[in-house]
Structure 1
Amino acid sequence: MRQEVDGGYLWSPVREANGARSRFYDNMRRAAPGDVVLSYAAGQVGRVGIVSDYAISAPKPEEFANIGIYWSATGWLLPVQWLDANFAVRPKALIRDLAPLLPTTHSPIQPQSGNGNQKAYLAEVDREVVDLILAAARLPAVDLLAAPTRTAADFVTKLDDVVERNIQHDISLDETVREQLVRARMGQGLFRKRVLDFEPECRITGLATPNLLIASHIKPWRACGTAAERLDGANGLMLAPHADFLFDRGLLGFEGDGRPMFSSQLTDSDADKLGMHVVQRPPPRPLHNDSLSYLDHHRVNVFIP
C-alpha cells in the first residue's frame, strides 16, 4: 500500500501463482479513467484515488523488493491519482449498512464479519459503497472531480528508463548490441530497418513514405525478454504517428489476417476526429507467421477489448 500510494499506481500480477485467472487481477484491465479507488489495508480504508489512465503491462515495481516474492515478474500497472486526504474508516464499524451494498461474489469484504477477503485485490463495488465510506470519512464527493494529471505514458517512460539502464550495465552484451537495443526503444537503427523489410507501409492509412512512419514494437520494448526480441523485425509494424499512438495505448490492434480491431474505449467521436472510420485503408494483409506470437502478446496484454 505504501509503495503504491507513494508511486501513484496499483500493481498486480496477471494471474495467480498457480496460473489461474483471478477476477481481482482481471479488474485491473477493466478499470477506466475516472473510476474511484478505495485503498483498504490493515483493516481500514485510508486513502481514495481516481484512476487516471488504463492499465499497462509492466514488471513488478522495483520498490516492492521482496514483497510478493512468489508473484510473477510482470503484471498490470494501473495509474491512480491518490488524493492527499488521510483518513481511517473501519468497514467492521459500518458492516450493518455496508453488507447489503457489497457484491454477492468477488467482494473485497466479508459481509458477515467485515473482514477483508484474503485473495481480493481490486474489487468492483457499487457507487453506494464509495459514498458510504466517504461520508464516514467526512470527505466531500466534490474532491473526486479533480482531473488526474498523470497518464500511463509517464509510467512507460519510467519503466523504459529502468530497462535501458539495465541494458547499459549488462556486460554480457557488447557495445554495438547495447547501442542498437537503446536505439530500438525509439524505433530507430537496426530494428527500424528490419521492420521495414516486413512492413513497408502503414496498415491503417496505407502511407508508405518511410520518413512519415514510426517503427512500433508489437510486444512492447520494455516487455521483451531478450535482445533478440527487441531487435526482431517481426516484432514491429510501420505505422502513421496517430496509429502508432493508438496501437501503443491498446486502443488499436490487429487480427492475424491483418484486419484492424478498435477498442471499445475509443469512442466513435474520437475515432472520427482521428480519421479512423473514414480513411481509405489498404486491403488487409495477413501478418507474417513470425509476427503472430508477438501479436498474441499484444492482444492479451496491451489491447483493451
Structure 2
Amino acid sequence: MNPLERILIEKAGREHGFENVLPDQDDAVLLGSARHRVQVKIIADNSVWLLKLPVGLLTHELERSFPRIECNQGQFIAPSIDLLTQLLSRAAALAQSLPNQAEIDYESEVQKTLAKLPPNGTEIECMVRQRIGQSTFRKAMMDYWGQACSVTGIDVPEVLRASHAKPWAECGNDAERLDVYNGFLLAANLDALFDRFLISFDDSGEILISMRLTEEHRLSLGLHQKLGLRWLAAEHLPYLQYHRRLFFEGCHIRGCPDYP
C-alpha cells in the first residue's frame, strides 16, 4: 500500500464513522471508533479496495444494503473510493444500532444521569430509564433505517417515530426494549396506526390494514395495499409475529371475522 492510498483510507474513515487508526501488522489500515466496537481492515489491491469485517449480523446487513458489491466471508470488494466510503458509512451506522450496542450505550447514559441526581427512589429511576431508553431506541432506529421511514422512505426527521412492535412495557428486559429489530422507523401517521394495532405487516413485509378503517379512512391516511416495508430481516419476524397477534385479536374483538 502506497502512502497516498493509506491517506485516502484514513481520511475516508475519519469522515465516515471510523475516526481511529489502530496498530496493525499487515499491509493494511485497521480502523475503529470510540462510538462503537466494530473494527474494519482495509487493503488496497490492484486499484480496488478490500474491506474486511468479522462475519456476523453486521456483514449480513451490509450484504443486503449493497447487493451489487462482491462479498466473500466478510470481505467486501469496492472498485472505487466512493463505494468504500459508502460501505464505511453504512457499517458505522449499523455498528451503532445493531444489538447490543444500543443496550450498552443506554446503560452507560443511565448510570451517568443517575449519578447526577440525588437518591430519589425507584420511581425516578424508572422515569430516567424510560426517557433515555426511548431516546436511545430512536437513535438506533434512525441509524439502522438510514434516517428514513421504513415504509415510505420519507427522510424528514421531525415526522419520524421509532415504533415498537413488542411494546416497551411488555418486553422482558432491556435487550428486547432496545433491540433495533423490535420495531420500525415510521412516519407519524403510520406510527400512530402501528402503535394502536390498526396496521401491521406480514412476514414478507406487506401491509395489513384493519377492517376498522373504512375506505374513506384509508384514502385520507394514504393507506393502500401496495405499501410495505422497504426491507425485512429474519430478526424482525419474532417481534412482528407478536405485533400481528395483537393486531388480529383487535380485529376479532371488534367484530372482524374475515381475519384469521
Higher relative contact order (CA 8 A, sep 6+): 1
**Bucket of the pairwise TM-score, normalised by the shorter protein:** 0.3 to 0.5
Superposition TM-score, scaled by structure 1 size: 0.38
